[in-house]
Amino acid sequence: MLSGIHPILGGELLAALDRLGHGDELVVADANFPAHRVGASVVEAPALAAADVVGAIRTVLPLDTYEGASVLLMAAEGGQRLPVQHELVAAAVTTDDRVEELERFAFYDRAIAAQLIVRTGELRPYGNVVLRKGVVNEYTPTGAAA
């Protein structure tokens, strides 16, 4: 176990996140998402809510601020955001102008191009989000290890 690292971020997930570069995209997906069909690199996070995984990822991964949306949701049928989607946006710690929605099949197409998919245990439909990685500008130590 490491000091200062969110406990959801195990070795496999940390290594996969570390391999991402500026502008690379990752998908945090619900349990029903066809992750292994669309993604080359899949990390499993069973029994965890998608928003909890997004929140943990955001402790080590900045969002891109270059241009356009850095958070993409799979649009729910009916055009209204569902509670799980509001939770995903809140966990991403971003502003509404940085969030867009993609129609379901357009979201799948985007996921195919993602560098990483984290499949969670989220059972609520539309618990899927794309995050675009930003630039790490500085190292901020959390203190000496005990």
Active-site annotation, residues = 22
CA distances from 82 to 35, 92, 125, 144 (A): 21, 16, 9, 42
CA distances from 86 to 80, 82, 103, 138 (A): 10, 7, 17, 30
Tokens 């958070």 belong to residue: 71
The Cα–Cα gap between 97 and 53 comes to: 22
> What is the β-pairing status of strands 25-29 and 129-132?
antiparallel
